[in-house]
Amino acid sequence: MASTAFDITSILNRKTRQQSEEKDGYKAIKLNYKDIVITKHNKYSMDEINELATGIHMAGELQQPLVLGKVGDEFWLVSGHRRHAAIDTLVQEGEEQFAEVDCRYKPMTETEFRMELLIGNTFNRKTTDYDKMIEAQEWKDLLQQMKKEGSFKPEKGSRTRDYIAAIMGEATGTIGTLQKISNNATDAVKEQFEAGTMNMTTAAEASKLSEEDQNAIAEAAAAGQETRAAEIKAMAEQAAGDGFMNEPEESEEQEEEHCRAVTEQMKETVSDTDTTEEEKECAKRLHILKMLEKYYIYMNEDDLRCLEAMLEDCKRRKREYGLDDVGSTI
């Protein structure tokens, strides 16, 4: 089945999973819950399973069918992971009559399955900040895959993060913060973020530190010690110079001083025949490269692709013009 074109409007208009099922032609089926595949793509927190199992036991059956995607010959679970876990709890306790469950399904490609799974989680469940971090990363991975397949073509000048923010109903800054935690935080920090002993701001500040410092903060949080974002931020500033960390932003005066230093460096590499304007242009280019070294950790995949294309273009020009290397940022 060919993947349909990406339409963000249709996603934002899906208010409930029931509307999606009615419009998209899901069919009823009854399956043994063990025949349903739980994929690696569902990484969200699962709580109150025992309470849900008790409710299902009292009702005598599932009140709402599980939603599945038929991918190849397998039935993959789209929506109802907590209900599926509750059914497993009942069966493990000897309640075999609950093993056969009502479901709704339709054929899907793997990409379509991932989108349906994300839509269901985005609109139909309460999520913690940790869940939102997972969700943002899943949307990013999916949109990049769809871009490769040609079913997602972002508008010129837009970023993948902008689409994720629109879909999730969050500010782009919030998505950026969650992505920093996802990319830079250690497993120990993420565990405490998931457990709720560290909030989003604290986890984001901790993710700027070295692995050792992050794990020490996570250990303190796990022990019940209060962790303040302001204190962690101060730690990062005091440890400035550690190559692992994100350094605090420079003031305008600091950047001007940095630019002057770069200009002096360029004077040592340019020839006597270079004009002052050429020196300034070279210094400007080198300054930008220095800043990229400083802020590279904030770059996304689109930025990286642009830089790679620029690098290849520069190499091509060097070959065509037969120029020699004139310097380094290192």
Query: Do 78 and 116 form a contact (C-beta atoms < 8 A)?
Result: yes
What sign does the CA torsion over 316, 319, 321, 326 have? positive
3-state class of 14 per DSSP?
Answer: coil
Predicted local confidence at residue 312, as pLDDT: 81
Residues 91-103 have a mean pLDDT of 95
By mean pLDDT, which of 204-208, 211-215, 219-223, 242-246 is the weakest? 242-246
Would you state the structure tokens that stand for residue 97, as one six-digit string?
A: 């009559």
- The enclosing domain of 79 has a CATH number of 3.90.1530.10
Q: Does 3 map to a domain?
A: no
Predicted local confidence at residue 274, as pLDDT: 44
Pairing verdict, β 74-79 and 100-107: unpaired
Tell how far CA 269 is from the center of its chain. Answer: 42
| Structural domain ending residue among the three candidates 108, 124, 140 | 124
pLDDT digits (tens, 9 = 90+) for 225-270: 887 877 887 777 776 555 545 444 444 444 445 555 544 554 444 4
pLDDT digits (tens, 9 = 90+) for 275-284: 456 666 767 7
Question: 183, 185, 195: which is closest to 215 by C-alpha?
Answer: 185
Q: Does 313 map to a domain?
A: yes
Predicted local confidence at residue 10, as pLDDT: 57
What percentage of the chain exceeds 70 in pLDDT?
Answer: 72
**The pTM of the whole model exceeds 0.85:** no
Predicted local confidence at residue 87, as pLDDT: 96
Is the pLDDT confidence value at 112 over 70? yes
| Cα atoms found within 13 Å of the Cα of residue 244, Cβ hemisphere only | 15
Predicted local confidence at residue 305, as pLDDT: 78
Is the pLDDT confidence value at 100 over 90? yes
* Residues 305, 148: Cα–Cα separation, whole Å: 13
Mean pLDDT (the chain) is 78
Burial class (CB in 10 A: 0-12, 13-18, 19+), 32: exposed
Q: Does 94 map to a domain?
A: yes
The count of domains in the chain is 2
**Strand locations in the chain (E):** 27-32, 36-37, 66-71, 74-79, 100-107
Predicted local confidence at residue 15, as pLDDT: 45
Predicted local confidence at residue 245, as pLDDT: 54
| Structural domain ending residue among the three candidates 98, 124, 150 | 124
Q: Does 258 map to a domain?
A: yes
With a CB cutoff of 8 Å and minimum separation 6, the contacts of 138 are: 41, 43, 114, 118
Q: Does 200 map to a domain?
A: no
Predicted local confidence at residue 136, as pLDDT: 92
Q: Report the DSSP beta bridge partners of residue 31.
A: 101
Residues 293-308 have a mean pLDDT of 72
Q: Does 137 map to a domain?
A: no
Q: Does 224 map to a domain?
A: no
Predicted local confidence at residue 273, as pLDDT: 44
3-state class of 37 per DSSP?
Answer: strand
* Residues 303, 285: Cα–Cα separation, whole Å: 17
Edge-to-edge strands, sheet with 66-71: 27-32, 100-107, 66-71, 74-79, 36-37
By mean pLDDT, which of 75-79, 135-139, 245-249 is the weakest? 245-249
Is the pLDDT confidence value at 4 over 90? no
Is the pLDDT confidence value at 196 over 60? yes
| Structural domain ending residue among the three candidates 124, 157, 175 | 124
Predicted local confidence at residue 24, as pLDDT: 63
With a CB cutoff of 8 Å and minimum separation 6, the contacts of 157 are: none
pLDDT digits (tens, 9 = 90+) for 13-31: 554 444 444 446 889 999 9
Q: Does 191 map to a domain?
A: no
The residue segments making up the domain with residue 277 are 252-321
pLDDT digits (tens, 9 = 90+) for 145-192: 888 888 888 888 888 889 999 888 899 999 999 999 999 999 999 999
Helix, strand, coil shares, percent, the chain, to 5: 60, 10, 30
